[in-house]
Every structure is written in C-alpha cells, then in structure tokens.
C-alpha cells in the first residue's frame, strides 16, 4: 500500500475547518446607512422650507386704509369747570320719625329708580293703621244704626207719633255718623301714607353722594345731623342719567358758543380719555363781578366708572370746518387691490395674520382707489402681496 504524503491529510482537514464569511450583512448595513442619510436630508430640507414659509412671519410692505374728504371740526374755545348733573343734586328724606332698621347703601354706589335707600321701623305706624281700620268699622256700624233709626222715626212722624224736632234729631245723628265714617276713612289713608314713608326708595337712576344717617339712627325733629342735611334727610343723590360739565365762559367769548355745538371733555384725573359732548345749556344771567356766563355741555357717552360729580374737567368747544359737510370716503393705494376673475380683494393684517377681504371699488382718484364696501377705514393692508401668500399666514410689516 502506497504511503500518503505527510502534509496531505492535514491540508484537507484545515480546509474543512475554514469559515466562509457572507457578503450579505455588509450590503444590508450600507443600505440602511444610505436610507438614513436620505431621510435626514429630506427632513432638513422640509424644516428649512417650513422656517422660510410658515415657521416665521413673512415680512411684507404695508399701508393704512384712509378716510378722506370729511370736514373735521377744529378747536375754537377752551374752558375749565366741574362735572355736574342736569338736576344737580337731590336730597331724599322722610316725613316721619323713627329708627332706621335697614340702609343698604354706601357713598359712591349706583342705584336704580325704585331701589331701597332706607327702611324705618314701622311697628307704631302699622298699629295706627290697624286702629284706623277699627275706627272705620265702628263708624260704619254707627251709620248703619243711625240710618235704620231714621227710617223708623220718619214712619212715626208720618203717623204723627213723634214731633218734627225728634225727626230732626235723628236726621242729624245720621249726618254726624256719616261724617265720622269719612273721617275714619281719611285716617286710614293717612296711616297708610305713614307706613309707606317707612320705606324710602330712589326716585331716579343715580349715584349716592352722601349719607346723612346711619343704620340704627333715630330720626327726631331737632336732632343732631351732619352739616348740609335737614333733620329728616337721609341721603343725597346725583342723577347719572345726564352727566354734564359746567364752566364759566368770558363775556367776550360767549358769542362763539351756541346751543348744540360739539365739544370735547377731558377730566383732569384722566387726561388720556376724551369724551364727546354737546352744548346743552347757556345760562341767561351773567356774573357781573367775574364778567362770565355759565355754560353746560352734556357728555354724550359718559363712563360712569370714572366720570363722577364735582370732578374738574376741561372743555374744548369745536367749530365745524368751513365748506359743506361731506361724507368721508375710504381710499386705498392703487397697487393693493387684486383682481381674480370677477372678484376684487385686498390682503389685510389682523393680529399678525394675513386675511383676504373682498371689496367693492369705486372711482379711481389721484390719491388712490375708492372702496365702497368691505373696509371701514383704519385697517392695515399689504402692498404688493406675494403670489405664495395664503389666508391665515403669519405676516409682519417690514421695518422702515
């Protein structure tokens, strides 16, 4: 038997033990890496697109919608005065005496017509009312008795049983009974009035200026009371339904003031607030020592939270501009209107958001384009809006 090579078997054994590495995992790893790079690039491009479009406001050039052609009033005369009310101040009281058992008001509180101001202990007056009803019932019974007796006396007089004097006495008795009944009925009305006076209500819509009495006080004639109030006064009110400013105007300037002319009121305490007003009253008598006449202007829409009686204020009387009064028109720059088919629209900015607003245009003017519908004046509109602009997109005005 031929002998085998010494290396032969060893080489075959080693070949059988060799590990053959597959190329498939490497290819799969490379594919996953390339896919991740592609996704990242797409995401980055999308983020960049979002940031440049929706992610941050688009800067645009803006303009304001103008109101032109209106005759504006101009300041003519100024004056200083104080806030008052049309009916000045009303003092509310009672005509009866007693102890205040309820008073749900405080200085500065606004009250409506019919609101309770104070209530007085009415037990005495309720007892008087019940007594008046009892007196009325007694008087009615006496009338009934006197009338029946008179009927019998008349029959006896026809039968010549009694004399004329006796009949006259019976007739007089009936008359007295009827008079007592009327008196008792009047006593009921008076007692009811006293009971009604125990509940004091507001006759106007107004504000409480001053309280003369407190809960538990007893109203007595000649009793102690704060200065300015009577012995039965309870509260002082100001009518807030017609707030005015009263001022003294020099005699040399009074010819410039006319009833109904416009004015502006500014309170010294709130110089940033202006209130429209109209001249409502020019007093007929001048003050010879000061050489002035008193004028009142009515505040058209007073803010009752801040406009209070006796506050100092300044009045600016306004004179209408010369020439006929014209209705103002709304004008926009010509290049802001966009036509799309039959529709004409503009882009407005409201709270940093672009809004598409359809408009109806009118005449073409030298200063711009007239707008008859869609805008009211004072809006901010976009000049030369980009084609990519869409409704609801955040925008901001370019800094000049």
Q: Mind listing the pLDDT tens digit of every residue in the chain (400 residues)?
A: 444 444 445 555 555 555 555 555 555 555 555 655 655 555 555 555 544 444 567 777 777 777 666 555 678 888 899 998 877 788 888 888 888 999 898 888 888 888 999 999 999 999 999 999 999 999 999 999 999 999 999 999 899 888 999 989 999 999 999 999 999 999 999 999 999 989 999 988 888 888 888 888 888 765 555 544 567 888 888 887 788 999 999 888 888 888 988 999 999 888 878 888 999 999 988 888 888 999 999 998 888 778 888 889 999 998 765 445 556 788 888 788 888 888 888 888 887 788 888 888 888 776 678 888 888 777 888 888 887 888 888 887 775 4
**Can you tell me the distance from the alpha carbon of 373 to that of 383, in angstroms, rounded to the nearest whole number?**
19
Distance CA 345, CA 355 (A): 10
| Alpha carbon separation from 209 to 44, 90, 92, 214 (Å, rounded) | 70, 10, 11, 14
Helix axes 123-158, 164-197, angle to 10 degrees: 160
Given this model, what pLDDT does residue 183 score?
95
- Mapped onto helix, strand or coil, the DSSP state of residue 312 is strand
Domain extents in the chain: 58-68+326-397, 74-86+243-319, 91-121+198-241, 122-195
Please tell me the distance from the alpha carbon of residue 378 to that of residue 275, in angstroms, as a whole number.
21
CA 38 to chain centre: 63
Closest CA to 314 of 82, 87, 67: 82
Distance of alpha carbon 212 from alpha carbon 235, whole angstroms: 6
The correct CATH number of 58-68+326-397 out of 3.40.50.150, 2.40.420.20, 3.20.20.70, 3.10.420.10 is 2.40.420.20
Rounded Cα gap, residues 31 and 36, in angstroms? 9
Beta-carbon contacts of 359 under 8 Å, excluding residues fewer than 6 positions away, are: 332, 337, 344, 345, 346, 371, 373, 374, 375
Query: Which residues neighbour 386 within 8 Å (Cβ) at sequence distance 6 or greater?
Result: 58, 60
Q: Which CATH superfamily is domain 122-195 in?
A: Helix hairpin bin (1.10.287.470)
Fold for the domain defined by 74-86+243-319: Elongation Factor Tu (Ef-tu); domain 3 (2.40.30)
CB neighbours of residue 93 within 10 Å: 20
pLDDT of 228 reads 47
Q: Would you say domain 91-121+198-241 falls under CATH 2.40.50.100?
A: yes
């Amino acid at each position: 038997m031929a002998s085998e090579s010494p290396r032969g078997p060893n080489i075959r054994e080693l070949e059988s033990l060799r590990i053959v590495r597959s190329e498939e995992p490497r290819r799969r790893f490379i594919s996953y890496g390339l896919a991740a790079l592609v996704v990242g690039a797409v995401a980055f491009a999308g983020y960049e697109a979002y940031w440049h479009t929706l992610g941050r406001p688009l800067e645009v050039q803006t303009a304001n919608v103008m109101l032109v052609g209106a005759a504006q009033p101009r300041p003519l005369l100024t004056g200083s005065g104080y806030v008052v009310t049309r009916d000045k101040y009303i003092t509310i009281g009672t005509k009866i005496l007693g102890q205040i058992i309820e008073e749900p008001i405080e200085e500065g509180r606004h009250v409506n017509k019919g609101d309770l101001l104070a209530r007085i202990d009415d037990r005495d007056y309720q007892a008087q009312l019940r007594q008046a009803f009892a007196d009325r019932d007694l008087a009615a019974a006496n009338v009934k008795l006197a009338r029946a007796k008179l009927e019998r006396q008349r029959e006896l007089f026809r039968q010549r049983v009694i004399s004329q004097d006796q009949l006259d006495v019976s007739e007089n008795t009936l008359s007295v009974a009827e008079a007592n009944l009327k008196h008792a009925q009047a006593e009921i009305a008076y007692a009811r009035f006293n009971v009604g006076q125990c509940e004091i209500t507001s006759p106007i819509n107004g504000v409480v200026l001053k309280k003369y009495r407190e809960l538990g006080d007893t109203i007595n004639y000649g009793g102690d009371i704060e200065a300015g109030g009577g012995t039965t006064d309870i509260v002082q009110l100001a009518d807030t339904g017609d707030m005015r400013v009263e001022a003294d105007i020099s005699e040399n300037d009074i010819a410039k003031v006319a009833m109904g002319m416009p004015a502006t009121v500014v309170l010294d305490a709130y110089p940033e607030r202006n209130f429209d007003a109209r001249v409502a009253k020019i007093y007929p008598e001048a003050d010879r020592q000061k050489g002035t006449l008193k004028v009142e202007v009515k505040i058209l829409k007073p803010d009752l939270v801040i406009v209070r009686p006796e506050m100092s204020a300044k009045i600016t009387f306004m004179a209408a501009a010369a020439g006929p009064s014209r209705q103002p028109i709304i004008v926009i720059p010509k290049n802001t209107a966009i036509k799309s088919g039959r529709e004409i629209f503009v882009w407005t900015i409201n709270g940093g958001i672009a809004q598409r607003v359809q408009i109806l245009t009118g005449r073409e003017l030298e200063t711009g384009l007239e707008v008859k519908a869609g805008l009211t004046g004072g809006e901010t509109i976009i000049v030369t809006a980009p084609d990519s602009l869409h409704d609801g997109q955040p925008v901001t005005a370019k800094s000049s």
